[in-house]
Amino acid sequence: MKRREFMTGLVAGAAAGVGGRMTWERFRKDAPGQPIPKHAQLSFSAMGEDIGMYHALKERLKIEKPTYMDVGAAHPIAANNTYLLYRQAGGHGVLVEPNPMFVEMLRRDRPNDITVAAGIGVDEVKEADYYEVKGNPWLNTFSAENVKERQKTEPGYTIERVTKMPLLNINKVIEEHLGKSPDLLSTDVEGLDYAIIKTLDLQRFRPAMICAEDSSTLDSGEPSDIAKYLTANGYIPRGGTVYNAVYVDKERLKG
């Protein structure tokens, strides 16, 4: 999955906390004052996913101030699926991110959200190897399989370091920090989206909408594993882009 690779130039060297940070600081300070053309719509996600989700949540599902859980939140604004809800809809939620550099930025730029400095586990293991990608922290991952596949196919893809990072159960994080299901669950975890979504207890915590780094239909024309799983559990695909798919609880669409 390459959802965030377009940002590579912006954050080259950001893992060191120098070049990328300075570049973003200049952009971040200028952006709020820039006028938006009359017929344009503002998007912060990689491919405009947030615009569709914003309108679906507010207009179709009638959720005025959406709550969300953003797993693999990364940067607080750039290529972020929930910042539009935070900025335009008065939304708030939980941002789960293991990268210390991004955690610092999330806490600074998203003070109304709760930032959890950890990863989401898929079993009872409490910590795991966290692979930090040289020059592109958007691609950091807990998935050794994802790393092996990228190393085979992507020249220049290099692991700078591997560190142990804590893992938390998704249901416990929701219970502790939200107390009820988020309206939106967004996952972008470089190869572990399906495994994490399967750990969500849909009987207790059933998001109205789920956005996953996934293509709902494979190149073969068959539905993806996430699409099969969510469809079997009462969700239907309702949009997406090259790298992300959006699913909506079909019962909520009846209202």
The residue with greater pLDDT, 185 or 255, is 185
Extract the runs of DSSP E, i.e. beta strands, from 56-143. 67-71, 92-96, 114-116, 119-120, 127-133
User: pLDDT tens digits for 28-82?
Assistant: 544 555 666 777 888 999 999 999 999 999 999 999 999 999 999 999 999 999 9
Residue 63, classed as helix, strand or coil, is coil
CA angle 63, 64, 68 (to 5 degrees): 65
The residue type found at 102 is F
Q: Assess if CATH 3.40.50.150 describes domain 5-253.
A: yes
Residue 45, classed as helix, strand or coil, is coil
Q: Domain ranges in the chain?
A: 5-253
User: pLDDT tens digits for 200-233?
Assistant: 999 999 999 999 988 888 778 889 999 999 999 9
Give the global pTM.
Answer: 0.83
- pLDDT at residue number 191: 81
Question: Which whole number is the average pLDDT over 84-111?
Answer: 95
User: pLDDT tens digits for 124-158?
Assistant: 899 999 999 998 888 888 888 888 999 999 988 99
User: Which stretch, 21-25, 27-31, 33-37, 235-239, has highest mean pLDDT?
Assistant: 235-239
Of 150, 137, 148, 57, the residue nearest 101 (C-alpha): 137
